[in-house]
Amino acid sequence: HTSRRSPFAVLRKNMLSTVALTFVAASSGYTLTASTRAPVARRAVSPLAVATEPEAAEEVAFTGAAAFSEQFKEPEPVFDILAVKNILPHRYPFLLVDKVIEFVPGKKAVGIKKVTTNEEFFNGHFPQRPIMPGVLQLEAMAQVGGIIALQEPVTDGKGDFFFAGVSNVKWRRPVVPGDNLVMQMELTAFKPRFGLVKMKGVSYVDGQKVVEGDFQFAMVVEKK
């Protein structure tokens, strides 16, 4: 069996060990002194208890309406909406050109359609995700083409201007409310005898190409 040592025997052994260590230290030139370090706290400090200063809110730059208005400033129109109405027969809700900002007679034109949430076609295309129908994008471009075809030197503005065909159409991205559809049409061929006009068109939103294609139109003049 194992014998239990009395507390006095353990204390006597510890005291003898301390005396022995003191003697060895003294003979070696060392001095044993009590530690001056503060006792370590028994309870760990919770991270939540540490007081921290709240971070300062990051200041958001505010541009303001005047600066944005200057940034989005558009060039003066060559044809404003009133002039466009004098050239094209289309009317609401099918007039899809708000103004023309660049025009070279008989060659090319750049028109703008400001797409708003109040467009008639957004009621059904689509109520939960309004997107300008692709065929109406082509129609808007065709109307810019009409600005070229219904003026000299192509025609004298008399007669009707009809779609005869469209090919090589590619849509790149959707057109949604708030977009400015910037459309360019360029005349590539004109056959007065047959009343045929060919054009190449491309449209952009925010500098990104959204749709392009080749157009063919027919001019019909009523004979009296």
Positions annotated as catalytic residues are 125
181 exposure class (CB count in 10 Å sphere: 0-12, 13-18, 19+): buried
Counting Cα atoms < 13 Å in the Cβ hemisphere of 137 gives: 28
CB 132 within 8 A of CB 175: yes
Distance of CA 74 to the CA centre of its chain: 20
Sign (positive or negative) of CA dihedral 22, 28, 31, 32:
negative
CB 215 within 8 A of CB 140: no
Which parts of 18-174 are beta strand (E)? 99-104, 108-114, 160-171
In DSSP terms, which residues pair with 203 in a beta bridge?
183, 211
Q: Which of 106, 114, 201 is nearest to 156 (CA)?
A: 106
Sign (positive or negative) of CA dihedral 110, 116, 120, 124:
positive
Quick one: tokens of 2?
A: 């194992």
